[in-house]
Amino acid sequence: MAPLPNSIEARDIAHHFHPFTNARRHEEIGPIVMAKGDGVFVEDIDGKRYIEAMSGLWSVAVGFSEKRLVDAAVKQMAELPYYHSFTHKSHAPVVDLAEKLINIAPVPMAKVHFTNSGSEANDLIVKLLRYRANGMGEPRRKKIISRLRGYHGITLAAASLTGLPNNHASFDLPIEGILHTICPHYWREGREGESEEAFATRCAAELEAMIEAEGPETIAAFIAEPVMGAGGVVIPPVTYWEKIQAVLSRYPEIVFVADEVICGFGRTGEMFGSVTYDLKPDIITVSKGLSSSYLPISAVIMNDRVYQPIADETARIGTFGHGFTTTGHPVAAAVALENLKIIEERDLVGNARARGPRLQDGLRRLADHPLVGEVRGVGLIAGVELVTDKEKKVAVQPPGALAAKAFGLIQERGVISRAIGDTLAFCPPLIIEDEHIDTILATTREGLDALAAEMGM
């Protein structure tokens, strides 16, 4: 049904150009307009409540109505609503937050640089690696290896790191110097008769072959998410990270970047995905859960071997020619600090670890459903890949149509997931309780049952 004239939906259609949206389709159907948030729930302007099983965009760790974050923002707004960190200026929230991130980092780190989104943080990493290589007198060391289906953001550089076709199409991306190695999705990419461990060995071998083919002296970094999120919730196969890090150890000049934008601050059942998979990165990107997305903030956390050549180059040039007006914004930093306090005080990482099996086991019980090809996940992040032919692992055409239909049926029943290709993704707030998980599970099955019935399956 078309929105009523001059309604908020109609005005949205008239004036608002949406991200990650088919603009022509949006002109036909308009938006669902959210009005309120309460814990794991959001409510639209018609009063319909939904469990937000995606935490918004993988990000609202502490739920949608945390008064302590509101109070932290108000207090900081009253004291110092804005200041910058250019040219030797600083303020207490940004110093406290940088210190906090260094203290809780999964491996020894030296410095933190703040940005406003995960995309900006990963874009900065591309610049930092170029700057560092020039500072070290290695101007050829500029290439970065990412992975197919990896997601690292949407700026020109970050979208180039991203390994998803729709983030490249018609943008003339990726830019030069960005390479993509195999996606570690065993169910999709494993060969007939190949064990999971043998697949992990092949992934590592392909990475090393790419390094050798390009020339190790030209490779600046390898970037990867501990668990792939927007690529369809891809869990690394057994021994994958052990073997990937063994390859990187043979090329010590190549920097290892862990993109913890989704995994960081408890999502996998540990404070960082790097802890879950025993990763030893040189750089870590964080955002989303850093402030539970109450305000925009992100950070690049780097170790000393990354930082020192960069610092030397700033001395040679006389400055570090990068920064945003709102880099390290005091209100965002104050909210992030309070958010981290809540995560620690309420042991939300422990809650993810405790509740995760209920979500994972419940979703895995969908494996017998005629539309479910694979269920995968860890902690409080999961994906259910839909198919119409389990043996061939294919769905209806065009790709993504099946999950989009399932997503709509589940949303109509009061649970918001996300359709990524033909995978339904789940990433609920870390405050979630068993009763909410049970509702997500039951509603998902109801939606899939309705779709199967509609398709005559």
Q: Where are the domains of the chain?
A: 32-62+347-454, 69-345
pLDDT average, residue stretch 189-202: 98
CATH classification number, 69-345, choose in 3.30.930.10, 3.30.450.40, 3.40.50.2300, 3.40.640.10: 3.40.640.10
pLDDT given for residue 269 in this prediction? 98
Q: Which of 419, 416, 371 is nearest to 396 (CA)?
A: 371
CATH classification number, 32-62+347-454, choose in 3.40.50.1100, 3.40.980.10, 3.90.1150.10, 3.40.50.2300: 3.90.1150.10
Domain 32-62+347-454 and domain 69-345 have a common topology: no
**Tokens 């500072």 appear where?**
135
Which pLDDT tens digit goes with each residue over 175-188? 999 999 999 999 99
pLDDT average, residue stretch 9-37: 97
Say if residue 398 is preceded by a cis peptide, omega within 30 of 0: yes
pLDDT average, residue stretch 66-90: 98
pLDDT given for residue 1 in this prediction? 61
Confidence at 351, pLDDT banded by 50, 70, 90: very high
Which pLDDT tens digit goes with each residue over 294-326? 999 999 999 999 999 999 999 999 999 999 999
Which pLDDT tens digit goes with each residue over 93-125? 999 999 999 999 999 999 999 999 999 999 999
Rounded Cα gap, residues 142 and 135, in angstroms: 12
pLDDT given for residue 6 in this prediction? 86
**Tokens 């600083």 appear where?**
90
Confidence at 330, pLDDT banded by 50, 70, 90: very high
In three-state secondary structure terms, 441 is helix
> Do residues 356 and 437 make contact, with C-beta atoms less than 8 angstroms apart?
no
Average pLDDT over the chain, rounded to an integer: 97
> Do residues 375 and 388 make contact, with C-beta atoms less than 8 angstroms apart?
no
Chain-centre distance for alpha carbon 250: 28
Q: Which of 188, 167, 147 is nearest to 387 (CA)?
A: 188
Confidence at 170, pLDDT banded by 50, 70, 90: very high
